[in-house]
């Protein structure tokens, strides 16, 4: 699942599904309460929800979450307070707590499809695909015409290799929303994961005719040709995209990786450099630049590139390891030892004892 899609899914299934900003109108929230509150409790609830909205507007999600926790202790029967908490937990990356809050929300409003959609999202992000599929399935039962829920089920099915389910959800999505570009992406990925390259190429060609500006689909088409064994056509598709004109770092990285797999080092290097200029903090781009330079035998520039990689990924042992090896080859032993010891230390911290031992052998 690509990052752009995840971002879109987050917005649609978390922000949209919580009704959060509607909830932040604390008067509305009080109107939806099913518990009889005293006048003082209503005032407290109003104040807390107003504070929560102000904190969210200023980007202070932790204090917003604290305000919502307090609000939930006053009115534990308001599903929208718990859905708001679910959104805030998810925004902080605490998907386990988010799922717990959304479970509370759906227990209070069991016919709210959007709550189930948000629950499915947080469960999927926490790695509980089975429960996520159950939540999304319930969302589909409640809102069968919602293409986003079918898409989410398709993505999770793809992740678990359930290709028949992927096709079923794809057919549902295009019948509901024929302009959903991601549905074609997911279905094509499913096809070439099954080795059905001709079908994937046909589907992607159709999709590109509908969405000619979707470069991700075009990169996927090139990938399908490569996987089919037609490297010449794959390269032809990539060259038509012109890396220098692209502005999506993820798409550029995919192109560069395909060039690298085809051992077209110059085009791969050009792609990785373009990706690093679009996203200067891209760990993948900087690491790949160094790796390709090393493969080309350009060790002096590789040393420079590995130093840049270490700057953006100071806790990644790969950069220290390779830099240390290159410095050692050039008899810069003191610098090499420092880099290799750092690599060994991080490998040990990560529990990668085999790599730590490999470095230790070099240090002896």
Q: Are 115 and 83 in contact (CB under 8 A)?
A: yes
Tell me: the pLDDT tens digits for 51-87?
Answer: 888 988 888 988 999 999 999 999 999 999 999 999 9
* Average pLDDT of the residues in 18-44: 56
* d(C-alpha 267, C-alpha 274), whole Å: 10
CATH number of 1-105, picked from 1.25.40.10, 1.20.1260.10, 1.10.10.60, 1.10.3720.10: 1.25.40.10
pLDDT > 90 in the chain, percent: 64
Tell me: the pLDDT tens digits for 169-223?
Answer: 999 999 998 888 999 999 999 998 999 999 999 999 999 999 998 888 988 898 8
**76 three-state secondary structure:** coil
Q: How confident is the model at residue 288 (pLDDT cuts 50, 70, 90)?
A: very high
Quote the pLDDT of residue 30: 38
**How is residue 30 written in tokens?**
């009080």
Of 120-129, 174-183, 223-232, 339-348, where does mean pLDDT reach its minimum? 223-232
* Average pLDDT of the residues in 223-234: 84
Sign of CA dihedral 137, 113, 115, 5: positive
Quote the pLDDT of residue 161: 94
Q: What is the dihedral of CA 206, 222, 168, 173, to 10 degrees?
A: -60
Q: How confident is the model at residue 106 (pLDDT cuts 50, 70, 90)?
A: very high
The more confidently predicted of residues 339 and 250 is 339
Q: How confident is the model at residue 7 (pLDDT cuts 50, 70, 90)?
A: very low
Is the predicted pLDDT of residue 10 greater than 70, yes or no?
Answer: no
Quote the pLDDT of residue 6: 32
Name the average pLDDT for the chain: 86
Domain spans of the chain?
1-105
Q: Are 292 and 282 in contact (CB under 8 A)?
A: no
Q: Return contacts of 194-198, CB within 8 angstroms, 24+ apart.
A: 194/163, 197/224, 197/225, 197/227, 197/228, 198/228
Q: What is this structure's pTM? A: 0.68
Residue with the two structure tokens 């080859």: 329
Is the predicted pLDDT of residue 239 greater than 80, yes or no?
Answer: no
For 236-254, give one letter per residue: b (16+ CB within 10 A) or e.
Answer: ebbeebebeebebbbbbbb
Is the predicted pLDDT of residue 241 greater than 80, yes or no?
Answer: no
Please count the other Cβ atoms lying within 10 Å of the Cβ belonging to residue 280.
12
Residue with the two structure tokens 């390259």: 197
Quote the pLDDT of residue 243: 66
**How far, in whole angstroms, is CA 31 from its chain's centroid?**
37
Quote the pLDDT of residue 35: 64
Q: How confident is the model at residue 135 (pLDDT cuts 50, 70, 90)?
A: very high
Quote the pLDDT of residue 290: 96
Quote the pLDDT of residue 216: 84
Quote the pLDDT of residue 245: 60
* Average pLDDT of the residues in 18-34: 40
Quote the pLDDT of residue 41: 87
H/E element, 251: helix 249-261
Is the predicted pLDDT of residue 21 greater than 50, yes or no?
Answer: no
Q: Are 141 and 106 in contact (CB under 8 A)?
A: no
Of 39-48, 112-121, 327-336, where does mean pLDDT reach its minimum? 39-48
**How is residue 7 written in tokens?**
């971002």
Helix axes 249-261, 215-228, angle to 10 degrees: 20
């Amino acid at each position: 699942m690509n990052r752009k899609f995840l971002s879109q899914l987050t917005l649609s299934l978390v922000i949209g599904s919580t009704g959060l900003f509607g909830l932040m109108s604390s008067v509305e929230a009080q109107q939806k309460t099913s518990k009889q509150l005293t006048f003082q409790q209503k005032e407290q609830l109003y104040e807390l929800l107003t504070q929560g909205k102000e904190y969210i507007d200023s980007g202070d999600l932790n204090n917003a979450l604290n305000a919502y926790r307090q609000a939930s202790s006053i009115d534990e029967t308001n599903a929208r307070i718990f859905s708001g908490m679910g959104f805030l937990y998810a925004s902080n990356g605490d998907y386990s707590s988010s799922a717990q809050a959304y479970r509370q929300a759906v227990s209070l409003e069991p016919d709210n499809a959007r709550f189930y959609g948000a629950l499915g999202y947080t469960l999927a992000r926490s790695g509980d695909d089975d429960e996520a599929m159950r939540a999304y399935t319930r969302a589909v039962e409640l809102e069968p015409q919602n293409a986003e829920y079918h898409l989410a089920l398709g993505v999770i099915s793809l992740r678990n290799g359930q290709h028949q389910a992927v096709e079923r959800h794809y057919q549902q999505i295009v019948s509901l929303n024929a302009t959903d570009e991601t549905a074609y992406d997911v279905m094509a990925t499913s096809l070439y994961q099954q080795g059905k390259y001709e079908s994937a190429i046909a589907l992607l060609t159709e999709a590109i005719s509908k969405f000619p500006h979707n470069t991700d689909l075009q990169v996927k088409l090139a990938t399908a040709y490569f996987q089919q064994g037609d490297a010449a056509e794959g390269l032809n598709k990539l060259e038509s995209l012109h890396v220098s004109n692209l502005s999506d770092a993820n798409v550029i990285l995919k192109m560069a990786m395909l060039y690298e797999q085809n051992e077209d080092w110059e085009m791969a290097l050009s792609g990785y450099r373009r990706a690093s200029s679009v996203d200067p903090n891209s760990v993948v781009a900087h690491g790949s630049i160094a790796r390709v330079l090393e493969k080309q035998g350009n060790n002096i520039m590789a040393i420079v590139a590995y130093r840049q990689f270490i700057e953006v990924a100071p806790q990644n042992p790969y950069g220290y390891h390779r830099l240390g090896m290159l410095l050692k080859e050039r008899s810069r032993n003191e610098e090499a030892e420092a880099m290799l010891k750092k690599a060994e230390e991080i490998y040990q911290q990560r529990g990668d004892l085999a790599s730590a031992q490999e470095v230790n052998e070099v240090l002896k």
